[in-house]
Amino acid sequence: MNPKIERVCKDIDKTKGKISELQTRLRELEKQKTELENTEIVETVRGMDISLSDLAAMLRAAHVTSGQVGPKSETTNKEATKE
């Protein structure tokens, strides 16, 4: 086989290996981010000093009134200001 083609094939294989490693690293980082967010949420809720039944009622009420729990996304706020 042509040496240039062989070199390109080796580069392709090397690049695919790097991509695979980076995808694995990305999945690990996303998992770590989710765990940290969950920990933050739990700490915030525990710091509220509210009973479990009151918390559930509060979340249901928030969901019913806004259709979502938590702050609205920035894209929603930006879209609202455009109109």
Give ∠ CA 39-43-44 in degrees, rounded to 5: 115
* Polymer length in residues for the chain: 83
Task: Give the per-residue pLDDT at 67.
Answer: 65
Which residue did the predictor score with more confidence, 10 or 58?
Answer: 10
Please give the average per-residue pLDDT across 23-43, as a whole number: 96
Task: Give me the pLDDT at residue 12, please.
Answer: 98
Q: Per-residue pLDDT averaged across 8-28, rounded?
A: 98
**pTM check: above 0.85:** no
In this prediction, residue 68 has a pLDDT band, given cuts at 50, 70 and 90, of low
The answer to whether 56 and 48 are in contact (CB under 8 A) is: no
Q: Say if residues 45 and 55 touch (Cβ distance below 8 Å).
A: yes
Q: For the chain, what percent of residues have pLDDT higher than 90?
A: 49
pLDDT at residue 81 is higher than 90: no
Residue-level pLDDT at 40: 95
Please state, in angstroms and as integers, the Cα–Cα distance from residue 4 to each residue in 12, 17, 44, following that order.
12, 20, 59
